[in-house]
Structure formats: C-alpha cells, structure tokens
Structure 1
Amino acid sequence: MTILDALYLLVGIMFAATAIINLRDSLNSKRWKSAGFWGINAIIFIFGRYLPPLANRILVIVMVLLAGLGGLGRSGKPETSLEQREVRASRFGNRLFIPMLLIPLVTMLGTFAFKSLTWNGALLIPAGSSTLAPLAAGHDAGNGAGGRRKPLVWRRSRLSGLGAGGG
C-alpha cells in the first residue's frame, strides 16, 4: 500500500463517517439523500480502484444527481448568532487568515518536495499524485495554526453536537 492508497482510505473513512452523521441527524429533512451522497463518495474512495470504470462513472453520476437536484441538506440545529461570530472575529483579528494561507503554501512546497521523494528507489507518492498528501498536510497545518491543539477532543465534541457522539 502506498501513501496515496492510505490517504484515499483515510478520506474514504472520513466520508463514511460523514454519511453516518448525516443519517443520524433527525433535524435534517434531506438526511437520507445527504447520507447517500457521502456514502457513495466513501465507496468511491475506499473501493474505487477495485470497481470497474463504468461502476465508478455511474456512482459519480448518481452523486451529481443527488447534489444537483437539491438532495443535500443542512441540519436544523441552531447556528451561532451574529454577535457570537463578531466577538470571535474581533478576538482573532487578522490571524483568522493564517490557516487559510497555510493550506496552499504547504501544498505547494510539499508538491515540489514529494515529486522526487523515494524510499529504497521507489517513489513514495506515485507520479502525477504528488499534490494529495501535501494537501492533507496543509489541512493539518491550517488546523494546527487555527488553534485546534486537541483534534480528538474537538472532533468528539463536534460529533456529539451533530448527534453522532455519546454526549
């Protein structure tokens, strides 16, 4: 398994979790279609290399139809108020842009670095795919710079807020 295969598996698992979260969200009137969209996305990322090309094409068309015909919905749970968002924005100031700028920077630098990164004479990232791993690293760098020092605690609290956790 290459790093890219592991990355696809990890993203597929994330999409599967998103499908489950959507399915459990009783306040989302479009939860079944949303869960279907994310579930199909998970299937493509996890099993796409084993499926025939026609099956992948059909799955992508179903995803496009689900999204294009209004199948994706949002939860009915209350969002933060305008006042809460303004307080947070004033507290962070221009530092809000650091995570957003780190993602493309790390992606660009990592793409150049990973193009020639080898282990025992074999490329760690297959040719033509050297952007995905740095993009994931850029995402992590952006989260780290954004103050997410405890990602598991943050994820657990966010998942429980969506009705998927035990809290």
Structure 2
Amino acid sequence: MLEYIYQAVGLLIIVFSVQTFLDKSNSKRIGTGLFWLIYGSSLCLGKVLPDWLVGIMIIVLTLLVTFKLMGSSNNRQFDVKLRRESSEKLKNKLFLPALVIPIITIFWSKFTGTSTLIGLGISFFIALLIALFITKGKASQSVNEGRRLIDSIGWAVILPQFLVALGYLFGEAGVGETVSQIVKEMVPQNNTFAYVLCYTFGMALFTVIMGNAFAAFAVITTGIAIPLLIVEQSGNPAIIGVIGMLSGYCGTLMTPMARNFNIVPATLLELKNKYQIIHMQLLPAFCMLSINTCLIYFLAF
C-alpha cells in the first residue's frame, strides 16, 4: 500500500509538470516542467527502474537546478478580497482538514501497526475531501493551488530527501567513527559533561551544515551518543536520543540549508531579508540547545 501512496504523489506531480509545460507565463517552463516530470516519474516507477537510471535522473535534476533552468509562473494572482470573504465565512472550519491529518495518521499507526507514511497518505486524501466539502470548491482547484504552492517552493521541496540520503551515505562511509575518534582525542576521558556538550552541539552543528536533523542524527548519534554516552557512560538511550534529536532541531532554526523551514517561509511571506526568520530564531535556538545539554546531563546519568 505504501507503494500506491508514492505512486499517487508521483502522478500528482506529473500533473503539475504538464501544467507547467503549458504555462506560457513561465519563461523557464521547459526546465521546470522537466524537473517535476523526472521527479514524479521516479516516485511512480521507482520500484521498477534500475538503480543506474535513477542515479542519472538525480544528476539531471541537479543540473537543472545548478544551471538555473527552473522558474516560477507569473500567473499566480488570486482574488484577495474573495479569499478574505471566504475565510470570514468559514472561520474555524478551515482548521478541520489540517487537524484531520495528524489524528488519522496517529490512529492508523497505533491500531494497524503498518507504516506511518501510509496513514499520512490516506489522511491527506480524507482531508482533501473534507476541504472540498467545507469550501464547496472543485477538485481541479485543489490541483491548481497545489501547483501554485509547489511552484513557490521550487526545488527545495525535495531537499529533505537529498539530505537524508546524504546522512545515510555518511553513516555508511564511517564518518560517525571518525567523529568518535576526534572527540576521544580532544575531550578528557570519562568527562561525561564534555561528551554531552559535544553531542548536543555536534548535532546542531551538523544540522547547520547538512540542513536536516535526521541526516545529522545518523552520523553524530553513531559517533558520539552510542559509543561514548550510552555504552561507555551507561546513559539512558531514550533520553539521550530524544533530546539529541531536539538539539538537531535547534540547528535547523539556525541554518539557511533548511530551506523548507527558513527560506521558503520568508519567500512566501515576501520578506525583504530572506534570512530574517533565521535572525529571529538564533537566540531562542541557542537557549534551547543549552537547556538540552543540561537535561541530558542531569536526566540520563
């Protein structure tokens, strides 16, 4: 069933690509349409495509972005007055589709024991039906709005997948072991607080570099948390793992690499300074990181 979810998403993205190819207001519609066509095809046919072909598709996606062959449509205007009237009429009903998604996803995961992603895909479909019922909108309108949103975000929408894959490659290449050796050489032996400090700030630093806490978690937890905090110092793995991931999220607040969290919202809000969100988040992120360090030290040992 999970494969069907991927295929459904892929088909939707292919529809976006067709709309882009036909959009004459986009001066870079060929490159943009090709990007989404390749990406959608990889989701639909990933199970049957040979690995070497998928690799070539990824290289083509990278080249399209590198040579700036992607652009957005200039025909994305909407009636602000109509939307304001609609929001005043529907009021809190607008939140119902958004609330349905996490509720159904959690129940699916809890009572079926299958992949959470399946529940997430099903919940999105149900939320769409509810949204159409509440707003009396057309299914085609949801597709158009979806394309407008993905057009605004651009290639950054697939950045998390790239970064998670990068974290996996780092783990397979033994980067975690190298980090562990560096920490052992720099930190006095059996200094628990120094190990914790290296772990929490290491998670944040790697997240700043890679843009994704999940990618950093695979490297830093393997290199520092497991051998030095859990095995050597007998720390509580649940506390260390959960708060360690939260430390990675502190790094997410500090980096432009996390485009979908920091740069994309600035673009959608049309802020003059695209780094303004990061500037506002730096101090709270550093405070949270310091608190996380203390929490692990006092609760896990």
TM over 0.5: yes
Deviation at 1:61, TM superposition (A): 4.2
Match of 1:60 in 2: 58
Structure 2 distance, partners of 1:39, 1:70, is 17
Match of 1:82 in 2: 80
Larger radius of gyration: 2
Question: As a proportion of its length, which structure holds more helix?
Answer: 2
Q: Find the residue that maps to 1:147 and give its secondary structure.
A: helix
Deviation at 1:142, TM superposition (A): 1.5
Structure 2 distance, partners of 1:152, 1:137, is 20
Alignment of 1:144 onto 2:157: no
Give percent identity, aligned residues only.
25
Cα 1:90–1:153, aligned 2, differ >3 Å: closer, same or farther?
Answer: closer
Contact 2:7/2:43, CA 8 A, preserved across alignment: yes
Contact 1:148/1:154, CA 8 A, preserved across alignment: no
Cα 1:100–1:72, aligned 2, differ >3 Å: closer, same or farther?
Answer: farther
Structure 2 distance, partners of 1:76, 1:97, is 29
Deviation at 1:139, TM superposition (A): 0.8
- The number of equivalent residue pairs is 145
Contact 1:25/1:75, CA 8 A, preserved across alignment: yes
Match of 1:120 in 2: none
Match of 2:118 in 1: 133
Structure 1 distance, partners of 2:66, 2:92, is 35
Structure 1 distance, partners of 2:108, 2:50, is 32
Match of 2:5 in 1: 7
Root-mean-square deviation over aligned CA pairs: 3.1
For structure 2, list consecutive stretches of 5 or more residues without a partner in the other structure: 148-301
Match of 1:28 in 2: 26
Cα 1:146–1:157, aligned 2, differ >3 Å: closer, same or farther?
Answer: closer
Cα 1:71–1:92, aligned 2, differ >3 Å: closer, same or farther?
Answer: farther
Cα 1:18–1:29, aligned 2, differ >3 Å: closer, same or farther?
Answer: same
Deviation at 1:13, TM superposition (A): 2.0
Deviation at 1:156, TM superposition (A): 7.5
Alignment of 1:154 onto 2:139: yes
Question: What is the one-letter code of the residue matched to 2:127?
Answer: G
Length-normalised TM-score, structure 1: 0.69
Structure 2 distance, partners of 1:110, 1:42, is 26
For structure 1, list consecutive stretches of 5 or more residues without a partner in the other structure: 117-129, 163-167
Deviation at 1:32, TM superposition (A): 0.9
Length-normalised TM-score, structure 2: 0.41
**Which of structures 1 and 2 has the larger relative contact order (alpha carbons within 8 angstroms, sep 6+)?**
1
